[in-house]
């Protein structure tokens, strides 16, 4: 989404670029340093507009990026789903959904100003009414929390899930320890309600990270329009390389317990990639360090594997059990 397309439809008009950058800095400070008064920005048209100009534009590409973790068939099937966008803000993921799949989306949003901003975007950009009633959506629905579970809490999130009965649930939260704790709590409650974890876990078992000081998160590399890129530079915020806590749940899913998920990428050695992966071993999910020798790859495979980030799913076989790690070979033809 181009910034210049959005600017005419903001609730507040900024007097200059530096005026907008100041408001972005203010809001970003609230997100990182003033968590106790985090809700304040929701009552100020200037900050809601700054949120829309900066976070809506830089969050939108995350939707397409996370679909890359699904297989081709699953991605294709998404076109048949409508979206329930919980904590929609100015419509970030509803607009992204519309751009990507063209199907409907209904927003749930408690802030009056955010709803007004979303209405203004739908009218200005598409000459359409913004939809706030999930009851009007089709049968197949994905319910998405986009950076909102950490504001509303797990119990409020669960109430929405029970009320709207979706087929899939997606959680896209910041890649922080605090968001991971929330995600784990939601995971446990959903498993108790017979949901299956589709991403990132490869079984329903207890998360091995839950017993550590570490937290499971993924990285997304996203590209922005040059105008948006300029804004991120002026505000000194890296919005290209994004740590995220992503979880996906499905009502019915056969887990791929023979696969592994990269959860950490260590610096490579002269001979191998070094990763920490999470996979089902001895009937439980385990975190294991692996080395992946380069010599097994063709030239093009080397390039592809070097681009793997935390979050990538692999199929592999163990070549050798070393003292503190496993040496593995990837089944390359099965990697999407």
Ligand X SMILES: C[S@@+](CC[C@H](N)C(=O)[O-])C[C@H]1O[C@@H](n2cnc3c(N)ncnc32)[C@H](O)[C@@H]1O
d(CA 210, CA 181): 8
Of residues 64 and 214, the one with the C-beta less far from ligand X: 64
Q: Which residues pair with 331 in a beta bridge?
A: none
Is residue 92 a contact point for ligand X (CB under 6 A)? yes
Q: How far is CA 135 from the centre of its chain?
A: 25
Query: How many positions of this chain bind ligand X (CB under 6 A)?
Result: 20
Which CB sits closer to ligand X, 89 or 134?
Answer: 89
Nearest approach in angstroms of CB 193 to ligand X is 19
Query: Could you tell me the smallest distance in angstroms from the CB atom of residue 135 to ligand X?
Result: 16
Among 87, 200, 208, 311, binds ligand X (CB under 6 A): 87
Tokens 């890359």 belong to residue: 68
- CB of 305: closest distance to ligand X in angstroms? 31
- Strands in 186-331 per DSSP E: 196-199, 218-221, 241-250, 259-266, 272-281, 284-293, 313-321, 326-330
300, with CB counted inside 10 A (0-12, 13-18, 19+), is: exposed
Phi and psi, residue 29, nearest 5°: -60, -40
State the nearest-atom distance from the C-beta of 93 to ligand X, in Å. 6
Distance CA 92, CA 90 (A): 6
Find the binding residues for ligand X in span 1-20 (CB under 6 A): none
Structure tokens, 330: 């990837």
Residue pointed to by tokens 């999470």:
278
- Nearest distance from residue 42's CB to ligand X, in Å? 5
Site string for ligand X, 134-173 (x = CB under 6 A): ------------xxx--xx---x-----------------
Residue from 14, 54, 81, 93 in contact with ligand X (CB under 6 A): 93
Residue 215, number of CB atoms within 10 A of its CB: 20
Cβ proximity to ligand X: between 42 and 191 the closer is: 42
Closest approach of ligand X to the CB of residue 333, in Å: 36
The residue among 79 and 163 lying less far from ligand X, judged by its C-beta, is 163
Interatomic CA distance for residues 123 and 244, integer angstroms: 31
185 near ligand X (CB under 6 A): no
Q: Does 215 bind ligand X (CB under 6 A)?
A: no
Minimum CB distance to ligand X, residue 207 (Å): 24
Around Cβ 144, how many Cβ atoms within 10 Å?
27
Interaction between residue 84 and ligand X (CB under 6 A) = no
Which residues ranging from 40 to 59 are in contact with ligand X (CB under 6 A)? Answer: 42, 55-56, 59
Tell me if 137 sits within 8 A of 84, measured CB to CB: yes
- Taking the C-alpha atoms of residue 43 and residue 66, their distance in angstroms, rounded to an integer, is 30
Which residue, 35 or 331, has its beta carbon nearer to ligand X? Answer: 35
Q: Whose CB is nearest to ligand X?
A: 89
Footprint of ligand X on this chain (CB under 6 A)? Answer: 42, 55-56, 59, 87-89, 92-93, 108-111, 114, 146-148, 151-152, 156
């Amino acid at each position: 989404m181009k910034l210049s397309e959005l600017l005419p439809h903001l609730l507040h008009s900024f007097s200059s670029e530096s005026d907008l950058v100041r408001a972005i800095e203010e809001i970003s400070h609230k997100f990182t340093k003033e968590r106790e008064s985090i809700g304040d920005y929701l009552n100020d048209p200037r900050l809601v507009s700054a949120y829309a100009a900066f976070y809506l534009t830089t969050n939108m590409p995350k939707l397409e990026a996370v679909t890359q973790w699904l297989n081709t068939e699953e991605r294709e099937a998404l076109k048949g789903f409508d979206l329930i966008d919980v904590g929609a803000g100015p419509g970030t993921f509803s607009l992204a959904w519309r751009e990507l799949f063209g199907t409907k989306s209904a927003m749930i949003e408690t802030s009056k100003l955010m709803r007004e901003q979303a209405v203004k975007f739908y009218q200005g950009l598409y000459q359409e009414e913004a939809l706030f009633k999930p009851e009007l959506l089709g049968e197949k629905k994905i319910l998405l929390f986009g950076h909102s579970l950490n504001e509303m809490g797990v119990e409020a999130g669960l109430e929405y899930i029970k009320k709207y009965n979706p087929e899939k649930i997606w959680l896209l939260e910041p890649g922080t320890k605090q968001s991971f704790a929330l995600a784990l709590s939601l995971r446990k409650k959903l498993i108790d309600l017979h949901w299956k974890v589709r991403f990132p876990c490869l079984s329903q078992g207890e998360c091995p990270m839950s017993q550590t000081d570490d937290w499971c998160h993924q990285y997304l590399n996203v590209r922005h329009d040059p105008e948006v890129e300029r804004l991120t530079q002026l505000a000194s915020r890296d919005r290209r390389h994004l740590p995220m806590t992503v979880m996906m749940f499905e009502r019915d899913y056969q887990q791929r317990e023979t696969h592994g998920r990269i959860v950490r990428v260590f610096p490579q050695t002269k001979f191998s990639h070094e990763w920490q992966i999470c996979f089902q071993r001895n009937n439980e999910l385990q975190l294991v360090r692996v080395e992946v020798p380069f010599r097994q790859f063709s030239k093009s495979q080397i390039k592809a594997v070097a681009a793997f980030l935390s979050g990538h799913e692999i199929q592999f076989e163990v070549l050798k059990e070393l003292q503190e790690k496993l040496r593995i070979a990837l089944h390359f033809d099965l990697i999407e």
